[in-house]
Amino acid sequence: MAILGGPDAGPSSGRYWAAVIAALLTVGMAFAATPVASLLKVLPETYVFAIAGLAIVSSLQDALEKAFSGKLRFGAVVAFAVSMTPFTIFGITSAFWALVAGLLASLLAERTDLMASWATNTSPDGAQRPAAERDR
């Protein structure tokens, strides 16, 4: 709700009503939380998991489109495949090894694109990074 208080949110009279509506919606969701939680306890666990999975499909689709649409696709695919396999080496899970494998794959197969991305302060899709990120 803090975003509704800034000058970028429009004129102050509109910000007031936006804050009132947002507060009413928040209170409404708070009152609905108990019946919804009771309903989720009654439903079979697999059904709840299926609903939760369907709720995040669009986020997964967007993330996959962004990960595999740039120049450094091979490293992203390798990292994705390694992260999906459940293994541990030296007590470190596959999430870390996915980063290592993806970087090594990019170094081996896409060295010029990777080095160019590192040298020019751009993201793999060619977009220029903001000055605040470059100067860190």
Whole-angstrom distance, CA of residue 33 vs CA of residue 43: 15
Instruction: Provide the pLDDT for residue 35.
Output: 93
The arithmetic mean of pLDDT across residues 1-5, rounded, is: 71
Residues 67 and 89 in one domain: yes
pLDDT in tens, 58-78: 888 888 888 777 788 888 888
User: Two tokens at 53?
Assistant: 């999975």
Band of residue 122 on the pLDDT scale cut at 50, 70, 90: low
98 shares its domain with 82: yes
**Same domain? 128 vs 74:** yes
| Number of domains making up the chain | 2
Per-residue pLDDT tens for 14-69? 788 888 898 999 999 999 999 999 988 998 999 989 998 899 988 888 888 887 77
83 and 122 fall within a common domain: yes
pLDDT at 5 over 70: yes
Q: What angle do CA 127, 111, 99 make, to 5 degrees?
A: 80
The whole domain housing 44 covers 2-55
